[in-house]
Amino acid sequence: MKTQASILDFAKQGNPHAIKTLMNRSLKPKGINIRVSLKDECLVVIAEASQPPEQSFMINFIRKKLANLNPQSVKRVVIQGRSMGSTYPAWRAGFDLNTKVAVVKPRNSEPSIFNAETILQAEEIPPLNSSETRKNGRKRRKIFITIPKYIKVFLVFLRFVLASLLYVICAVSLAAIAVSMKLVAIWQAEQYFYNIQIVGEIFRAVEIIELLNVLVFAIVGMGFGVITALLPRNIGRQISAIFLIILIPLICCTTDLYRYDNWLREISEREKISYSEAQQITNSFLKNRVGQQGFLGFYLHTAEFPVLPTRKAQMQDVAVQEEKITSKFATVTGITPQNVTILFTISGWAIRTFYFLVAAFTSATHFREGLKQIARLSQAQAEGESDHKSV
């Protein structure tokens, strides 16, 4: 009871810490946290919650509380409502204690002199149990240095540039990690899995190594979600989403790019010709098969026929070999050769589409999870700073 009475007495004297304590007793259960400071007979009250507190409720609540307390040395009250962790208020209101009219400022109004900067510079009142207050009988004050506006603007710009540079470095690093993982995996598959008799060709046909996409794109999605914190909130998500949209198909094609390069090198070694000559031979082969050359022709061809000829003579007999395989399959299944070819084509593209959708879904899911982790961390950090400042 003695402590209760002392808090009430201090609040009536205009002690911000005591006023804050009394208000938080009623508002904390509602999820609202109050911060109070006093400067030049103006009491500044910041109300924070997960969503900005309702304006009329806060004005009426604070007006009634202060009317009952009638604190000394308080002539005017300024209230700001904002979400937890936000720097700028969603709304502002002010009133004189001896009037009944509150001056309300909308969200998009120009900042008044009672903005966040003024609050931070406001006089800090020590806690009620401060030994220094009891001993010296005077309030502690912080000394602030006024920084010119152009220096503040320069520092903000410098921070943005450095954060953007760090974001680019992190984004490139994530892409490099993903590509490296894919290259190592396909190299291992070509060396071991795909060389197994019979089973290896089945693994190659279904592109079994692409199951690694779950891990690769989980890392990419989570990483881009986390590094979004380096950019301004209003553009961070959009930029990271654009990066992901561009990177997903590029990373998915890593396996095919490796196989295409490996195919050219193998033909070059077996035929004892240069890499460029091997490329000319394969371009001619792909042009006859699918009507396209280079990597695009390779990509279209392998969607239908995963097994590739590695000698010039084999390229000339590919059509005959494929016809034999199609005929055998048609004989076993009872499907016409034309439908067998269509079935092979549909199966190849269906497998690629499936792996691409897995990559996109995994990236999007973990991207959202990364954003949630950053939001939780920011909220915890804001609450910690709020508690530290209120002590």
Task: Please tell me what DSSP assigns to residue 14.
Answer: T
**Top-confidence residue, 208 or 387:** 208
Q: Judging by DSSP bridges, how do beta strands 76-83 and 42-49 pair with one another?
A: parallel
Tokens of 380: 């915890």
How far apart are the C-alpha atoms of 301 and 293, rounded to whole Å?
Answer: 10
299 Cα distance to chain centroid:
32
16-27 vs 55-69: helix axis angle to the nearest 10? 130
Mean pLDDT of 17-38: 89
Q: Is there a contact between 303 and 352 (Cβ–Cβ < 8 Å)?
A: yes
User: Per-residue pLDDT tens for 291-343?
Assistant: 899 999 998 888 877 778 888 888 877 766 676 666 766 676 777 767 767 77
pLDDT at 316: 76
Mean pLDDT of 216-223: 92
Helix, strand and coil percent figures for the chain, each rounded to 5 = 70, 10, 25
DSSP labels, 177-189: HHHHHHHHHHHHH
What secondary structure, in 3-state letters, does 228-254 show?
HHHCCHHHHHHHHHHHHHHHHHHHHCH
User: Per-residue pLDDT tens for 75-93?
Assistant: 889 999 988 877 778 888 8
Mean pLDDT of 34-38: 89
User: Per-residue pLDDT tens for 167-176?
Assistant: 999 999 999 9
The reported pTM is 0.54
17 Cα distance to chain centroid:
38
Tokens of 298: 């390779």
How far apart are the C-alpha atoms of 368 and 360, rounded to whole Å?
Answer: 12
Q: Is there a contact between 224 and 244 (Cβ–Cβ < 8 Å)?
A: yes
Q: E strand or H helix at 260, and its extent?
A: helix 254-271
Mean pLDDT of 20-32: 89
**Top-confidence residue, 346 or 107:** 346
pLDDT band at 186, cuts 50/70/90? confident
User: Per-residue pLDDT tens for 259-282?
Assistant: 899 889 989 998 899 999 999 999
Q: Average pLDDT over the chain, rounded to whole?
A: 78
How far apart are the C-alpha atoms of 54 and 32, rounded to whole Å?
Answer: 10
